[in-house]
Chains A and B, each alone.
Chain A
Amino acid sequence: MTDTRRDSDLRLVLGLGALALASVALGPYILPTFLINSLLRAILYAAVALTVDVLWGYTGILTFGQSAFFGIGAYAVGLVFTHMGFSASHALLALVLSLVVSASTALLVGWLSFYPGASPLYASVVTLALPIVVTQILFSAGTFTGSSSGLSGFESFDISIEIWFWISGTFLVLLTGVAWLFVRSDAGRMLVAIRENEARCEYLGISVSRLKILLLMAAALVAALSGYLFASMQMVVAPEYAGFVFGTELVIWVALGGRGSLVGPVLGTLFIDVGSAYLSGNLPYVWKLLVGVAFVVVIVAFPGGLLPLPMALLRRLRGIPPPARGRGPMLELAEPRALPGLRGDSASALVLEGVCKNFGSLRVLDGISFRAGRGELLSVVGPNGAGKTTLMRCISDGAERSRGRVLINGFDTGRLPPERCVAFGIGRKFQTANTFDSLTVAQSLRIARSRLERPWLLHCSRTLALPDAALQVIRATGLDEHLDMAVRHLSHGQKQALELAMVLALEPNVLLLDEPTAGLTKAERTLIGRILRDLTEHHGLCILLVEHDLDFVREVSSRVIVLHQGQILLDATVAEVVESELVRSIYAGVGSHGESPS
């Protein structure tokens, strides 16, 4: 079933691609010159719109700056051909220039926008500033760039319009096909994971910042290549092609066509740009108003854009059910491997030395020090506000600590971000189930594996290899029956189990669990308890568990730390803690359930 589904998908995309290529081939013989000329431009705009869709629709990076890269590609052509003349070697030089300059600009912009903790708003504002800065540079370079007038009248490839149409049409069809394969591939799912839950990705050892920068660079290269083709065939460059108005137009086309659908933005761009060539001459005054109104209506009422509307109608008319989901990939056992974390020769799996955390003048953690060895299940208990969740954060994210040291398997985590700490062998499960809502169970697990197994760029693997511990959790909770189900349809308990399995898929040997049983049924709780004991006893994991449920703690723990007002009050065996008057008095004074402070 899975295979037929996937094959039919592939057949569909091949069929559509062949159809599109055939239209490209026949276009010049059928369509009037005016339409061909209009389409020529719109096709290259659509290629850039495609990059906006991958960045925004899939990854959630709202960008107004793709026009700048288009402009860079175009100006490389304009400048080289104007000042050095046209020749084959100069065309190559222009190509190299356009790619190198756009990629390095993207690197700079990515470095500015995508640092750990940067808000997506900030990235958007930076992408808005980029075309403004680029335009300003073009303006002020005087006759070299032609300032506001741009460059025109340079010699270029001596190719007829028809051939240009074939070149750019094929370029767009292939690009759309590659993008289509990419976003559906194992690697492509990572884009959605980043959009949905950046923090979870980081704690799965994925360097989100690096991926975003790489993605931006790839998008910049495609946009620059489109600009290169554009300037070569139109023989004109002007600052507005790099400007922010064009940048925002791209976003409008993508939104109207249907973000996150690839085909929608391409069709949206072709229709709107070519349509405006026909209509805006007749209604210059209201054209912008119409586009503005359509845009706001789509954003508010149809965030999926306009393409899904006729598609749904078509489906209903032809009685085709919405795409059904298959069974997902085959599960298999991952080869045992030497884990990076285990290479440390430290006797203790986890060591904390004088860890402090201040919020302003408020000290939430005050000199926390302890050690935990392999095979140990250490519970951290304490009333609300004791700093338990903060402690988890300070262990797993170096930037969170105000003072103190954390060693994981003997490696000092310093001020490293979570994704680097993961490499030392630590895995963190969050307090509330922290998953990727729109991905399936199998896709989520695959993303958790991506640190250890590089995902395929253009297709989906049919098998999913997981370590024993993760397989155990999945099978015990029945998740293996729902591998192809979207996570948002899972029950709360299943989500908790999935997140645990995802963390285990990292093959950590230090596991941080923040209330893994909150909101679970008695049966589920028992199950989790059994799994945890198994992990420590048979897999030698060191588990640090934050729990409110003292019964559960008593059942599973080998040792308990009592945290109170940011300090360790007691570090003892289960029996000692249970008998402690002190602990009882603390718990009596404060409620025992509810949210920990953030």
Chain B
Amino acid sequence: MTNTERFSLSMRLFHWGMAALVFAMLTAGLLMVASLDGWQLTVLTAHKVFGVIAVLLVSARLINRLRQAIPALPDDLSHWQKMSARVSHWLLYGLLFAMPVSGYLMQYFAARPIDVFGWFRLPAALNVDIYTYALFRELHSVFAIALICLIALHIGAALHHHIIRKDKVLKSML
């Protein structure tokens, strides 16, 4: 690790931009699967398009992350705390990929092409595969629940660093 105090500007922009996107996507997802109202189609259509944007963003973000140094964790953190910080961060990256990929695959196997702003359409299977659709439909939900739990842990940890430990971990992302 290095002596960097703060995450780079590009990393902070990716972090907060994607935080807003993920929050909007999870909220939209949870509301739209329950709604019978007219806005459901609008939100569903936007949800799919922003899923395409999300996979592009997280790819760019991962490349950016791997090419730059990040602030070291505080020295006085216990071994298991450092380990859980690292594991949870890589799990977050994993889920940020798994969400749009499982979302696309459930559409793909249900033979539902995805319309992107009317510019082009992402391809889907010609014939429905109901088993594989069901698998990815359920995975999409499981990943969403896992992501919500992990984000709660992530926010909890950030607040713990800031309020209780009073270290620079949260500030390094501001």
A and B co-occur in one complex: no
